[in-house]
Amino acid sequence: MTAAAQQKNDKKPQTAITPTRAEDFPQWYQAVIKAADLAENAPVRGCMTIKPYGFALWENMQRVFDVWLKDYGIQNCAFPLLIPVSFLAKEAEHVEGFAKECAVVTHHRLEANPDGPGLRPAPSAQLEEPYVVRPTSETIIGDSMSRWVQSYRDLPMKLNQWCSVFRWEMRTRLFLRTAEFFWHEGHCAFADHEGAKTDCLTILDMYDKFFTEYLAMPGIKGVKTPDERFPGADETYCIETLMQDGKALQAATTHNLGQNFAKSCNIKYQDKEGKEAYAHTTSWAFSSRVIGALIMVHGDDDGMIMPPRIAPQQVVIIPVLKGEGDDAVMKAADDLQKKLKAAGFRAHLDARDERTPTKMWDAIKKGVPIRVELGAREVAAGQLTHVRRDIGKDSKKTESVDAFIAGLPKLIDDMHNDMLARATKFTEANLFDVKDLAELRAFFADAGKSGFVRIDLAAIQNNPEFEAIKKEFSVTTRCIPFADAGRKVIVGRAY
């Protein structure tokens, strides 16, 4: 490919993703996932298959956050995938919240279908008590805690598992809402209310730090209104993030379960005086849906933009091959990858038998933060050309290999900080204050408007007009932000 052709390619007016965000945001979202090769719909109703590039992103998140959890004193465990139906039924609100969307296991054997081809559940192998595939694990972990917690010395007990859970969703969308999804679920027990509350707030801060420092994703911390609480919780805290279409996404939650599950699961301890008391428990999670959030917070009309600290590939090296001097270029590309890996960076060499523009556009659509182009002339001069994914050609720079490597940490930090600043600015610009329900109604009635809408908490409480607005415009309370001293509430459309 000639330099002229490449330049022309750089300038091509079309976007890599069709439709654009402005044209059709939901379709753009699906197209970005496909173009970036992150995941696809599985041949199992409502389930997704997470492809290597998408799963590498999730693994990076796990790797960072798991260390933080362990520093906090968390111990990872593995609890069963199946939960007896009677366990789920122990906590009244909890079962109400989950029974309607469970995958129910009723048999333990298949047999040849006597009425036709294929297999059927063997009637003789029907279970006495059915199981559900865990939608969440409070009840089964609560059962273990009832045996593991005996004395005040056993508290606090801080457990976690990384796993997938299953909720039979009727309308699904990759990463955002799928029947099976991946998450970590922390479950802790404390001696008193204060311990549980502090845990919820500490973990919420940890999520916030993780989202801002690694995902470049700002959020609003707050507490849920009662109708939006986790089924069985006394209090649910959350981080709400704003997508580019003005819809909210709940990125993480922490739940103070009070003594509800301790009572239904019988988690009791003897205090120092030998008196028995119920523990106070918490649970909290973030899930693979944050990958959906990353796409919708950072993506542009050319595809995904990966926050560089969490990106599966921080740098992609594209050898520009022209038939002449290719060996030297490939060798230099290979050397560069080795040097970058040795320096602790995640560097990918695109050695595929594909044309250079294909490789470039694949890297763009995948959102690789730093794209390095290496041609024969650059190799001869000991140089390379690099460009940032988020700002494109304005950041294009040719410099020596050593200077590039030396400057890479700053390049990554700069890109991260710029992405966070852009998303923060967007969130702030799309947070609107309204003074009453009439203004709130007017806001959502205007099809051109979307975002976080902030109103006095007192204006909505026990107000049938607010319930009518919620229903009419499919909006919900997102959270009561900590920042407003509990006097305001944010309303919005949500994923």
With contacts defined by CB under 8 A, name the span among 92-100, 244-252, 403-411, 484-492 that binds its own copies: 92-100
Closest distance to its own copies from the beta carbon of 253 (Å)? 22
From candidates 75, 417, 461, 463, binder to its own copies by CB under 8 A: 75
Candidates 64, 89, 328, 391; binder of its own copies (CB under 8 A) is: 89
Two tokens, residue 81: 């995938």
For residues 98 and 89, give the distance between their C-alpha atoms in angstroms, rounded to a whole number.
10
Does 130 participate in binding its own copies (rule CB under 8 A)?
Answer: yes
DSSP codes, 126-141: EEEEEEEE-S--HHHH
Smaller CB separation from its own copies, 52 or 344: 52
Peptide bond into 156 cis (omega under 30): yes
Residues 145-174 touching its own copies, rule: CB under 8 A, are: 153, 159, 163-164, 166, 168
Which contacts (CB < 8 Å, 24+ apart) does range 469-475 have? Answer: 469/437, 469/440, 469/441, 469/444, 472/444, 473/441, 473/444, 473/445, 475/444
C-alpha 447/C-alpha 69 separation (Å) is 43
Answer for which of 131, 278, 443, 466 binds its own copies (CB under 8 A) is 131
Task: Look at residues 176, 175, 179, 186 and name the one whose alpha carbon lies nearest to residue 165.
Answer: 179
Q: Does 212 engage in binding with its own copies (CB under 8 A)?
A: no
Count CB neighbours of 195 within 10 A: 17
| 271 near its own copies, rule: CB under 8 A | no
- For residue 110, the tally of other CB atoms under 10 A from its CB is 12
CB of 257 to its own copies, least distance (A): 20
137 neighbors 187 (Cβ within 8 angstroms): yes
Q: How many residues bind its own copies (CB under 8 A)?
A: 64
Q: Find the binder of its own copies among 1, 16, 99, 330 (CB under 8 A).
A: 99
Least distance (Å) from its own copies to the CB of residue 83?
A: 7
Binding flag, residue 182, its own copies (CB under 8 A): yes
Binding part of the chain for its own copies, among 43-51, 231-239, 273-281, 471-479 by CB under 8 A, reads 43-51
The closest of 325, 329, 368 to 351, measured between CA atoms, is: 329
Region near its own copies per CB under 8 A, out of 88-96, 221-229, 400-408, 429-437: 88-96
> How far apart are the C-alpha atoms of 92 and 97, rounded to whole Å?
9
Residue numbers of the site for its own copies (CB under 8 A)? 42-44, 47-52, 55-56, 58-59, 75-89, 95, 99-111, 118-121, 125, 130-133, 140, 143-144, 153, 159, 163-164, 166, 168, 180, 182, 352-353
